[in-house]
């Protein structure tokens, strides 16, 4: 396998396209198996022309891409400024394109683009989706329910705050809705890292009573009482973190005897019902589930990402990080990109800031928030 990534911050889309295409051709040559394109909001209206030029000049087997509020390339995260990133790869087996569309019907939402023959054992899906027009959570849940489950990694387009403002690219097509993706065959060796940016506080507890998304009792006591006890026992600094960055982790695998990083899917704590002494969570939680309170802040996010990337190395990576991270969370530029670049010495890294990130935990894929999802490409074991 061989890879290349290029970045241009030229404000003119034609000039930017010429720069990234020239860099990729110089490093990798024409006709790669896969090319992935990321464009900042400044270039939304020019995406069709950019994609057409990439296809004509590089001639990739599959081209996918989307628009995002910020673009990642190499060890850089370009926030606020114009940017185009192009990533390309030669792979041991050809990837397969996927185009997803959702149509509202009288019975709900009908999805097209996936079938029983879309995937083979060992395949993985890289998915780029419009958050306004595609039910990504339902798609991810369905793919996790297949036998074997299909791991999904990717993100939601973030260049616009309204329907029709994003662009999805698949080969010669450009759309403002739905989703595009590429199926990576089993021969393409990858490691997926999902860093949720949290650290656990308190002890894991069993949900003994729940109503929808309300945690009513934890380990036999009112959930709000459990939280207030945790806050009261904390020191001043941790108490501030609990007040400002508290979340709830829901165990992915109930059969584990102990829990550590990556064993919980983190969800927002959205409110409290003081009369019922219950906590409202941004997901449904079943009775019998193990949960643990989590704190998210810059320090926890930094430690978690470093820990998840420890021992991971590869030849290239695609990065899908939350648009709530970056300077907004860390107070510095390029945090996540620099961390990934340390694991990918070739510099073949590209990606985007997302309006929702997709990645697997414990054998199932989830739609996340405030997360960094990274797919690292490497030689297969023994290869």
Peptide bond into 148 cis (omega under 30): yes
Average predicted confidence (pLDDT) for the chain: 92
What is the C-alpha to C-alpha distance for residues 177 and 133, in angstroms, rounded to an integer?
6
pLDDT digit string (tens) for 345-358? Answer: 999 999 999 999 99
pLDDT category of residue 102 using cuts at 50, 70 and 90:
confident
pLDDT 10s digits, 314-345:
999 999 999 999 999 999 999 999 999 999 99
pTM recorded for the entire structure: 0.92
Cβ atoms of 86 and 24 closer than 8 Å: yes
* Residues 165, 159 contacting (CB under 8 angstroms): yes
Sequence-separated contacts (24+) of 185-188 with Cβ below 8 Å: 185/93, 185/94, 185/95, 185/96, 185/120, 185/122, 185/123, 186/93, 186/120, 186/121, 186/122, 186/123, 187/91, 187/92, 187/93, 187/380, 188/1, 188/91, 188/92, 188/93, 188/95, 188/124, 188/377
Overall average pLDDT of the 355-376 stretch: 93
Q: Which of 334, 341, 352 is nearest to 376 (CA)?
A: 341
What would the DSSP string read from start to end of 330-361? HSSSSHHHHHHHHH-TT--EEEEEESSEEEEE
Characterize 326-339 residue by residue with b for buried, 16 or more Cβ atoms within 10 angstroms of its Cβ, and e for exposed.
beebbeeebbbbeb
- Residue 88: what pLDDT? 98
């Amino acid at each position: 396998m061989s890879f290349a990534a290029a970045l241009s911050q030229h404000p003119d889309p034609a000039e930017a396209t010429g720069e990234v295409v020239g860099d990729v051709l110089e490093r990798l040559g024409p006709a790669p198996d896969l090319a992935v394109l990321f464009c900042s909001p400044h270039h939304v209206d020019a995406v069709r022309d950019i994609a057409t030029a990439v296809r004509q000049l590089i001639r990739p087997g599959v081209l996918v891409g989307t628009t995002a509020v910020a673009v990642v390339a190499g060890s850089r995260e370009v926030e606020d400024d114009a940017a185009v990133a192009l990533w390309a790869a030669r792979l041991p087996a050809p990837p397969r394109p996927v185009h997803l569309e959702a149509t509202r019907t009288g019975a709900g939402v009908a999805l097209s683009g996936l079938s029983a023959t879309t995937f083979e054992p060992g395949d993985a899906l890289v998915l780029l989706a419009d958050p306004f027009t595609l039910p990504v959570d339902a798609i991810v849940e369905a793919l996790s329910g297949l036998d074997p489950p299909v791991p999904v990694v990717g993100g939601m387009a973030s260049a616009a705050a309204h329907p029709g403002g994003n662009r999805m690219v698949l080969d010669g097509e450009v759309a403002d809705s739905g989703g595009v993706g590429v199926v990576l065959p089993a021969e393409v060796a990858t490691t997926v890292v999902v860093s949720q940016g949290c650290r656990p506080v308190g002890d894991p507890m069993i949900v003994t009573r729940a109503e929808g998304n309300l945690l009513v009792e934890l380990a036999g006591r009112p959930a709000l009482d459990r939280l207030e006890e945790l806050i009261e026992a904390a020191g001043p600094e941790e108490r501030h973190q609990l007040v400002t960055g508290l979340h709830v982790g829901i165990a992915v695998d109930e059969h584990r005897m102990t829990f550590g990083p990556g064993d919980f899917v983190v969800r927002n704590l959205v409110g409290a019902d003081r009369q019922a002494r219950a906590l409202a969570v941004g997901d449904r939680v079943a009775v019998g589930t193990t949960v643990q309170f989590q704190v998210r802040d810059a320090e926890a996010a930094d430690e978690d990402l470093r820990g998840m990337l420890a021992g991971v190395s590869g030849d290239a990576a695609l990065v899908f990080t939350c648009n709530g991270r970056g300077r907004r969370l860390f107070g510095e530029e390029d945090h996540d990109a620099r961390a990934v670049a340390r694991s990918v010495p070739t510099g073949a890294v590209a990606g985007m800031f997302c309006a929702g990130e997709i990645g697997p935990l414990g054998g199932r894929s989830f739609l996340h928030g405030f997360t960094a999802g990274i797919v690292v490409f490497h030689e297969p074991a023994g290869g």
